[in-house]
Structure 1
Amino acid sequence: MSMIETGRKIRPMIKFILVLLVLGIGVAVMKGLMSTSVKAPAEGKELFVPNVEVLEVVEENYKVVLRAQGKVEPVSSTEIVSEVSGAIDWVSPELKAGGKFKKGELMLKLSQADYLSQLEQARANVADAELQIVQEEARAEQGLRDWKKLGRGGEPGELIKRVPQLKSAKARLIAAEAAVKQAERDLAKTEIVAPYACLVESAQVDQGGYLTSAGRVAIIYEADKVQVRLPLSLEDVSYLPPSLENVAVEINAQIGRLNEQWIGKVVRTEGVIDRATHTMMTVVEVAEKKDDGRFPLPPFGLFVEGVFKGTQFENVVRLPRMALRTNGTVWLVDSKGLLEVRDVTVERSDRDTVMVVDGLSSGESVITSPIEIPVDGMKVEISKTANRAP
């Protein structure tokens, strides 16, 4: 056998021996490390106790306050038109946008010349009609005398007694007197006066112009009072008296840096439920003027807030809204410092608070802060206590 062939047979054996040697060394090292390993002392798990903020329960008497927003509108709005035509002789300086008039104050005057002439003509026609009646009565008397002189027997006819002629003359007198009254009314209508104390929204006339019959003069608003239409939900209405008429309402508004307040009264409800919002419009009228302040009455077009005072509840608990959990429950901390999940009865809730009428007692601690994973009976630690709801 040659040397080359002998070398080829020996190489695999050498590789195998080397692998076994490496494995043996590895096993020996591993056993040595395992025999010299240090065992760490076992430690118990630390229990996590969440910190919570609580509110001490205080029973109190609570009056429901309802708030709604609306826009100030005029109680009455009238378009003034002329009932007669004619040239404009005089226009009040107040007959312009923003002008004010008292009830019965003269706003505009038309030329009266033609209407005075018509009135005099109507009066002359009355005099003629009266004369005609006197003449017909005299003719009737003369006819009766002539009838007797002629010695005719029987009852004279109606023509002899001038009955149709008298009837016609009296009818002419009635028509003439009616024409006088019409002429007097037309003459009076040449002066247009304010039907009530008002503010002028817009005016369509000016000095030297001409007005036709039914021509537009101005649009006016009632100045002595305003109204606000306030929407109330059906739930809100249940906290108000059965008859809303004359219920007092505070009207608040922010005008620039001024906080203005007026007192109004409910005059009616519109009696129709808005299907989209389930609200009912309540009309509040403000007529009591303030002697102080810049605005005796709320200005037209101003958005205001109406505040209604509703039902008063006795011995209820007011909580911040965040204290009410899902399914109408609250979290409490009992005397042992454990969390308790309790069902409560809520009468009313708004944006900030809830009113609890059953399920809580004075002195108990209601949790107001969040807990990531609340479990009934878990240990909690109080970090802050408040006396009552804000």
Structure 2
Amino acid sequence: MKFNPVTIAITLVSGVSIFGAIAYNGEKIDQQLANESKPSASLQVGEMSNAHLDLDTLSVNSLPLVSVIEPKAQTYQTEVVGYGEAKPRFELTFTGEVNGRIDAISSRFESGQVVKKGELLASVDPTQYQQAMTLAKANVAQAQLNYLEEQRQGEQAKSEWKRSGLSGEPDSPLVLREPQMAQVQAALDNAKLELIKAQKDLENTHIKAPFDALVVSRNLHPGSYLQTGGEIATLYSISEVEIEIPLSESQWNALPNMGNEQLNQHHGDWLVTLTNSDGDETWQGYVGRIQQHLSQSTRQRSLVVIVDKPLEQTSDLYPGTFVKATISGKSIDNVWQLPASAVSQQGELWLVNDNGLLVKTPANKQFEKSGLVYINASGLTVDPLESESTHSESVFKVVTRPLSSYQVGMRVATKVEG
């Protein structure tokens, strides 16, 4: 085998170059490792401080971020909300007072119609009652005649007793006809009462509305026979409706301490706003009276709200309407106004104390209004380990939307809303 001198020379030169490069790179790597093992003399104090700040920032950013508000205790007027059904003040099952066949019915005597007090609704055939009245008049006339005759006979008996010359009083009242006079007097009085009854029965053949009323149902028909005490119709009064609002003990505590005598003196002053179940219709009422007993069904005491002329409102308030009542209460001091979301499902508030730790406390809810909740702030502290007295210098941070995963003592970062 022959070797080319040129090829051998190139190969030797390339090998020397490779080994030189490897030696140089090894030296540089050793130098760099040595430099990294020693503290850098060029690192300034400010740069070291910035490095610590970056670590603190990384630590804060790793904490859960919660939204909080810093409420201020103020004075607010309470509002109590209750529910009830509008009912007429008078609900009457109207019954007949005479017997007879119905011979006429008013065209307005139909369900859904409003009738005025004294308006003629129907009439009963009056023939028998006209006859009874004529007979009663005759009986009165006869009784008056009997009375006059007995009166004359009594006067004659007295005259004869005086002419007899006898002294003193007769042994029997029959001598002066006193019992006979009493009998005819009673008969005359009875005849007059029978005439009054006959007149009233005749009037009752004209069936009239007892008050301004809404006809709910009618049970008469032309030609039907009405019995005394038979049902004619169901009527609702329309002068006013009443709504009984049952309230809990805590709701009563939020209302002014007022009795029925005071309500009578300030009639209509304690206003109540009523809305229907859809919230699109509103009526203005007032507290009419306060019940002085507990309901057997709800075991609560009720407040009665009245609305005058319910069928003359901008939107008619019909009996049977289920309404929400918003009642103005008394003013309460030292109260927080918070979003309703700040109260957890367990009825608690979550606070962040001065050390950035979560604590919780029961929410002493006073009332709610328009998506806001009003909490009694008396006695609250930012740390349950502190005394129960309120610290005026403490800034309360209330979590607006607490989560179920929160734990007491958890460190958090805060973001103040609004």
TM class by shorter chain equals 0.7 to 0.9
SS in 2 for 1:72: strand
Cα distance between partner residues in 2 of 1:329 and 1:175: 81
Cα distance between partner residues in 2 of 1:333 and 1:316: 19
Cα distance between partner residues in 2 of 1:321 and 1:348: 12
1:346 aligns with: 364
SS in 2 for 1:213: coil
1:219 and 2:234 correspond: yes
Task: Give the superposition deviation at 1:131.
Answer: 2.1
Aligned residues: 335
Task: Give the superposition deviation at 1:254.
Answer: 4.5
Q: Render the CA deviation track for 1:228-263: whole Å, top value 9, x for unaligned.
A: 1212111111111222544422111146x8423232
Note if contact 2:88-2:240 (Cα within 8 Å) is conserved in structure 1: yes
- When structure 1 is superposed on structure 2, of 95-104 and 319-328 the one drifting more is 319-328
1:294 aligns with: 315
1:385 aligns with: 416
1:16 aligns with: none
Q: Render the CA deviation track for 1:313-344: whole Å, top value 9, x for unaligned.
A: 2342223355457795632264xx73353757
Task: Give the superposition deviation at 1:119.
Answer: 1.5
Task: Give the superposition deviation at 1:268.
Answer: 2.4
SS in 1 for 2:286: strand
Cα distance between partner residues in 2 of 1:230 and 1:327: 25
Cα distance between partner residues in 2 of 1:86 and 1:77: 25
1:249 and 2:263 correspond: no
| Change in 2 beyond 3 A, CA 1:270/1:302 | farther
2:350 aligns with: 330
2:52 aligns with: none
Cα distance between partner residues in 1 of 2:343 and 2:280: 36
Q: Render the CA deviation track for 1:31-69: whole Å, top value 9, x for unaligned.
A: xxxxxxxxxxxxx99743222212132333322221111
Q: Render the CA deviation track for 1:6-28: whole Å, top value 9, x for unaligned.
A: xxxxxxxxxxxxxxxxxxxxxxx
Task: Give the superposition deviation at 1:160.
Answer: 6.0
| Change in 2 beyond 3 A, CA 1:154/1:67 | same
Aligned with 1:272 (options 291, 294, 316): 294
Cα distance between partner residues in 1 of 2:155 and 2:407: 118
Matches within 5 A, 1:96-245: 96-139=110-153, 154=166, 161-243=176-258, 245=260
1:365 aligns with: 397
Note if contact 1:244-1:266 (Cα within 8 Å) is conserved in structure 2: no
| Change in 2 beyond 3 A, CA 1:188/1:66 | same
Task: Give the superposition deviation at 1:177.
Answer: 1.7
Cα distance between partner residues in 2 of 1:147 and 1:317: 100
1:308 aligns with: 327
Cα distance between partner residues in 1 of 2:252 and 2:154: 79
- When structure 1 is superposed on structure 2, of 298-307 and 124-133 the one drifting more is 124-133
TM-score (norm 2): 0.68
Cα distance between partner residues in 1 of 2:83 and 2:133: 55
Cα distance between partner residues in 2 of 1:294 and 1:178: 50
Task: Give the superposition deviation at 1:144.
Answer: 7.1
Note if contact 1:270-1:282 (Cα within 8 Å) is conserved in structure 2: no
User: Which structure 1 segments of 5+ residues have no match?
Assistant: 1-43
Cα distance between partner residues in 1 of 2:343 and 2:188: 87
Note if contact 2:277-2:324 (Cα within 8 Å) is conserved in structure 1: no
Q: Which has the higher strand share?
A: 1
TM-score (norm 1): 0.73
Task: Give the superposition deviation at 1:369.
Answer: 4.2
Task: Give the superposition deviation at 1:112.
Answer: 2.0
Cα distance between partner residues in 2 of 1:145 and 1:338: 119
- When structure 1 is superposed on structure 2, of 206-215 and 302-311 the one drifting more is 206-215
Note if contact 1:274-1:280 (Cα within 8 Å) is conserved in structure 2: no
Cα distance between partner residues in 1 of 2:375 and 2:309: 34
| Change in 2 beyond 3 A, CA 1:117/1:54 | same
Task: Give the superposition deviation at 1:363.
Answer: 5.7
User: Which structure 2 segments of 5+ residues have no match?
Assistant: 1-54, 264-269, 382-391
Note if contact 1:198-1:220 (Cα within 8 Å) is conserved in structure 2: yes
Cα distance between partner residues in 2 of 1:68 and 1:222: 24
Aligned with 1:53 (options 67, 85, 107): 67
| Change in 2 beyond 3 A, CA 1:57/1:213 | closer
Q: Render the CA deviation track for 1:270-299: whole Å, top value 9, x for unaligned.
A: 521568x6532222222255866231xx21
1:261 and 2:283 correspond: yes
What is the identity, as a one-letter code, of the residue corresponding to 1:197? Answer: D
Task: Give the superposition deviation at 1:355.
Answer: 0.6
| Change in 2 beyond 3 A, CA 1:320/1:163 | closer
